[in-house]
Structure 1
Amino acid sequence: MLTSLTRRKRAAAILAVAASLAMAAPVVEARPGGGGGMGSRGSKTYAPPSATTTAPGNAAPIQRTQTQPGPTNPGMNPAAQQRPRFGGGFMAGLLGAGLLGALFGAGFFGGLGGLASMIGLLLQVGLLVLVVALAVRWFRRRQEGPVAAGHARTGLDQGPGPQGPARNGLGGGLGMNAAPAAAPAVAPVAVGKVNVGPGDFESFEIALNDVQAAYGREDVASLRNLATPEMAGYFEEELRANAARGVVNRISDVKLLQGDLSEAWSEGRNEYATVAMRYAIKDVTLDRRTNAVVETGEPEAVELWTFVRERGGRWILSAIQQGR
C-alpha cells in the first residue's frame, strides 16, 4: 500500500512539473522563416550552402519548397526524409501506456489489459497497415506513367518574352515548359559565376530590414514586392496562422551585425546569391486583444538568405535557411 502511494505521489509530481513547463511562455522564432527552411535556390535547392565565417556550421535544409527533385535537383526532399516510419509513433504509444501503467502501480503492461491483448492489438494493426500499404503501392504505380509526361513549373512567370513562350521565372528555379513525350530527359542546368560587389551587399542588408519590417506590420503588399511569389505565399500563410491564433508578431530594432557571401551563381537569365547574416532583432508575439506577451524570440539570429534576380534586375528574397 505504501509503495503504491509513493508511486502515485511521484507520478503526480512529474505531471505537475510537465504542466508548469508547458504553461511557461515559450521562446520561439516567430520572425519570417524562423525555425525552419523555406523557398527555392534553383538547382541548389537540395544542396547545403557553403559554410562561411558568419555561419560555419551546416545550414538547416529547406523543408518547404515548390522546386521538385529531378536531374537538376538530385537530392531527396528533406520533408520526405523526416516522415516517420511505421512503428515509430505506434510503438511509442505502447511504451508510454506501459510506463504509465508501471508508474501508477498497475504493472508495465497493465495499461493495455495484459500481454495477450497487446499481442492481439499488434496483429490487427499490422494487418491493417499491410492492406493500406498494398493499396497505396497500387495507386502509385498507376500514377507514375502520366506524371512522367510533364514537369511542374514553379516561381514567377514573366509571360511571353524573347526567349520563347515563357521566360525563366524567379523563386522556384528555372521555369520550364513541359517536355515532349519523346524527350528522354531534362538537360542539366548550366551554372555560371556571378560577381557580387559592395552595392549588392548593401541591397541585401536593406532587404533584411525591409522584409522584417513588412512582416511585423503584416504588410502583404510589401512582402510580395520584396520576395518571390513562393516566399510571399509562405509569409502570408504564417500571418494567417497568427491571425487565427489571435496573436500578432511585432518585429523591431533589426540590425545587421555580420555578414558574408556563401555562394553566387547564375542559371540562364537568373542570378542567385546566398548570404549568411547574423543580426540583432527584437521579436515579440502579442495577444491581439490584450497586447500581453505570448512568445519571445532570441535577441540574435544567424540565417542564410538566398536572393534571386533576372540579369541586371533587382534582388528579391528567394529562400531562408537557419544557420547552425
Structure 2
Amino acid sequence: MRRTATFLTAMAALALVLAPALAEARAGGGFSSGSRGSRTYSAPPSTPTAPSGGTQFNRTTTPQPGSPATSPAARPGTVPGAAPNRGFFGSFGGALLTGGLIGALLGFGLFGGGGGFGAMLGMLLQIALIGFAIMFVMRLIRGRRPATAGGPAPYAYQAQPEAKQFGGMGGMKAAEPVRAGGPLQIRPADFQDFEQTLKDINAAWSRRDLQGLRTLATPEMVGFFAQDLRDLEARNWRNETRDIRLEQGDLAEAWSEDGEDYATVAMRFSMLDATFDNATNQVVEGSTTQRQTATELWTFVRKGPGGRWMLSAIQQTQPA
C-alpha cells in the first residue's frame, strides 16, 4: 500500500510540473477554442493549407445540440468564456492537498508508520520537494541562458528577411465561397482584414493588452486569452510573438446565420515566439532568433455586411 501511495503522489507531482512545459504559450495556447455558430461541432472542410482539417474544440461556451445551455453568469466573478480561475487550491496547492489525502488514505504518506495530521504534513512537504526538483531539472533541460553579470538585459528579436507572399492578397488565397446557410462572398479586402487581425491579435497578446484584444475578438475568445495570460502570470512568465508573417492561407467555408456572417480561414504563419521568466528576463521556451511555423483555422464573425470582422475561434489542425 505504501508503494501505491508513493507512486500516486510522485506521478501527481510530475504531471503538475510538466504541464507548463507541454502547453504552448502563444496566443490561443495551442488549444481549439471559441465558437463557429451553428457549425461549432461540425468540422471545417479541408483546404490546401490545412488538408487534414481541424480538431474538435477543447474550450467553447456553445452547448452541444440537445444539451442544456449553461450560463457563465451563474458563477459570480467569472469572465464569459473563461475557464474558472482556480487559484492556489485549484492548481498547485490543490494537487498537493489531493495527493496528501490519497497518500494518507493509502498508507499515511511517504514517511510510512506515521499517523494523523503530522504524517500528512510530512508527506506534503516531500511532494513539494519532488515538484521543485523536477521543475529545476526541466528548466535545465530547456536550456536557460545564464544571466549577465550586470543583471538581466532585454532580449532583442533578430531581424529576419521578408517571407515570400502567396496568392496575391497578402498571402491569402481565395477559394470558391461556400454558400450553405446563406450567400456570402468573401472579397480581397476581407482576406486583408483576416491577415491584419492575425498580426494585431498577436501584438496585443504580446503586450498583455486585454483592452486591445476586446476590439479584435469576441468576449468568449477574450475570456480564454485572459485565462491563458493569468496562467502564465502564475508561473511569473510572459510570452511574446513577434514578426508574424502569413505564409499561406485559404478559405475553408463562409456562411451567414441569424444576421451574422462567418468565415473560417486556414492560415499557415511563421513568427518569432519566446517565453520569458519575468524575474530574470531570460528565455525559458522558444527563441528570439529562430522562426517557428504554425497552421491553424481561424473563424471570424461580423454583424452583417459592412461590419467589422472579429475573431470568434481558433482551431488547431489534425496531424498529417
Q: Deviations over 1:220-256 (max 9, x none)?
A: 1000110000000100111111111100001101100
Aligned residue pair count:
190
Please state whether the residue corresponding to 1:236 is helix, strand or coil: helix
Q: Does 1:202 align with 2:195?
A: no
Q: Does 1:277 align with 2:267?
A: yes
Contact 1:277 1:302 (8 Å CA) reproduced: yes
Aligned residue among 294, 310, 316 for 2:303: 310
Structure 2 residue aligned with 1:52: 47
- Counterpart of 1:31, as a letter, is R
Q: 1:281 to 1:28 in 2, by over 3 A?
A: farther
Contact 1:48 1:59 (8 Å CA) reproduced: yes
- 4+ aligned runs moved over 6 Å, structure 1: none
Q: Does 1:245 align with 2:235?
A: yes
Contact 1:254 1:282 (8 Å CA) reproduced: yes
Cα displacement (A) at 1:26: 4.7
Structure 2 residue aligned with 1:323: 317
Quick one: distance in 2 between partners of 1:268 and 1:243?
38
Q: Could you list the runs of 5+ residues in structure 1 that have no partner in the other structure? A: 1-14, 74-110, 113-189
Q: 1:71 to 1:271 in 2, by over 3 A?
A: farther
Cα displacement (A) at 1:271: 0.4
- Overall identity of the aligned pairs, in %: 48
Quick one: distance in 2 between partners of 1:28 and 1:239?
13
Q: Does 1:296 align with 2:286?
A: yes
Structure 2 residue aligned with 1:254: 244
Quick one: distance in 2 between partners of 1:192 and 1:34?
32
Cα displacement (A) at 1:197: 0.7
Quick one: distance in 1 between partners of 2:185 and 2:26?
30
Cα displacement (A) at 1:320: 0.1
Contact 1:30 1:249 (8 Å CA) reproduced: yes
Q: Deviations over 1:123-145 (max 9, x none)?
A: xxxxxxxxxxxxxxxxxxxxxxx
Cα displacement (A) at 1:275: 0.2
Q: Deviations over 1:254-299 (max 9, x none)?
A: 1000000001000021000000000001111100010111222770
- Counterpart of 1:321, as a letter, is Q
Q: 1:72 to 1:196 in 2, by over 3 A?
A: farther
Cα displacement (A) at 1:193: 2.5
Please state whether the residue corresponding to 1:192 is helix, strand or coil: coil
Structure 1 residue aligned with 2:32: 37
Contact 1:39 1:318 (8 Å CA) reproduced: yes
Quick one: distance in 2 between partners of 1:301 and 1:44?
23
Cα displacement (A) at 1:71: 5.8
Cα displacement (A) at 1:62: 0.9
Cα displacement (A) at 1:59: 0.8
Contact 2:29 2:228 (8 Å CA) reproduced: no
- Counterpart of 1:230, as a letter, is E
Q: Could you list the runs of 5+ residues in structure 2 that have no partner in the other structure? A: 1-9, 69-105, 108-179
Structure number with greater Rg is 1
CA-atom RMSD, angstroms?
A: 2.6
